[in-house]
Copies of this chain bind each other. A is one copy, B any other.
Amino acid sequence: MEIRNITVEDYDKVINVLNEWWGGRQMTHLLPRLFFEHFQPTSFIVEENGHLSAFIIGFVSQSDPNQAYIHFVGVHPKLRKNGVARKLYELFFEQVRILGCNKVHCITSPINKGSIAYHKSMGFSVSLAPDYEGIGQDRILFSKDI
């Protein structure tokens, strides 16, 4: 298992599996290439023999440099529940702490019960934000002191 910072060359391999890893949901529009271009220092990819195993995409907030935001985390469906996501979150926490952050945020849709349970188990606080992304677009907000 190799973990390294993400590059623009990783964009196609991630985008090609994204909908499949999310059980067929259309997700690719949520992950434009700009995230691979501009947030490399805090975004990581895991590969096994050259095959994509997992990735995390996040950045330091430019509104409040003490805060960091995780935009996307994906793990190959066959590699779930083996600790690779935890490893990526911990690597992200470590990296953004070095950059001066003491809080991490992320969000999900209320439908993602698995994500909500997972973030609780990782020590994130959880709250519901009605109409967060527009009318009828509720989101679950996670945050954690690091």
Binding site for B on A (CB under 8 A): 12, 15-16, 28-30, 32-34, 37-42, 59-63, 67, 69, 71, 132-134
Chain B residues near A63 (CB-CB < 8 A): 37-41
List, sorted by A's number, 29 A–B pairs whose CB atoms are closer than 8 Å: A12-B134, A15-B133, A15-B134, A16-B134, A28-B134, A29-B29, A29-B30, A30-B32, A32-B133, A33-B132, A33-B133, A34-B69, A34-B71, A37-B61, A37-B63, A37-B69, A38-B59, A38-B61, A38-B62, A38-B63, A38-B67, A38-B69, A39-B62, A39-B63, A40-B62, A41-B62, A41-B63, A59-B62, A60-B62
Chain B CB count within 10 A is highest, among A12, A33, A40, A63, for: A63
Question: In whole angstroms, how far apart are the Cα atoms of A62 and B5 in the complex?
Answer: 13
**Contact partners of A71 in chain B: CB under 8 A:** 34
Residues of B within 8 A of A30 (CB): 29, 32
Smallest Cβ distance from A142 to chain B, in angstroms? 13
Which residues of the other chain, B, contact A38 by a CB distance below 8 angstroms?
A: 59, 61-63, 67, 69
Residue of B nearest to A16 (CB): B134
CA distance A61 to B37 in the complex (A): 8
Chain B residue nearest in CB terms to A6: B63
Tell me, in angstroms, the Cα distance from A75 to B67 when the chains sit together. Answer: 31
Given A15-B134, A38-B63; 4 other pairs, CB 8 A cutoff: A28-B134, A33-B132, A34-B71, A60-B62
